[in-house]
């Protein structure tokens, strides 16, 4: 996803457009189960258990 966002912003006409693309990708990443596991494992002081894809 990061590579796609970088490629999309290379041809972007403005900083506003690049910021919008960044906001969209951040929102998509923050809704994954990995972020929940990462935060929970941090507070539990344990290593995260991410499932294999």
Q: Is the pLDDT of residue 27 over 80?
A: yes
pTM over 0.85: no
Q: Where are the domains of the chain?
A: 2-44
Q: 6-24 pLDDT, tens per residue?
A: 777 777 778 888 888 888 8
Q: Kindly tell me the burial class for residue 5, based on how many C-beta atoms sit within 10 Å of its own C-beta (0-12, 13-18, 19 or more).
A: middle
CA angle in degrees (0–180, nearest 5) for 41-5-14: 130
Instruction: Look at residue 16 in the predicted model and tell me its pLDDT.
Output: 86
Q: Are 19 and 5 in contact (CB under 8 A)?
A: no
pLDDT number for residue 53 = 60
pLDDT value, residue 46: 96
């Amino acid at each position: 996803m990061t590579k796609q966002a970088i490629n999309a912003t290379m041809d972007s006409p403005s900083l506003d457009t690049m910021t919008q693309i960044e906001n969209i990708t951040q929102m998509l990443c923050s809704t994954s189960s990995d972020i929940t596991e990462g935060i929970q494992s941090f507070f539990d002081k344990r290593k995260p258990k991410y499932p294999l894809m």
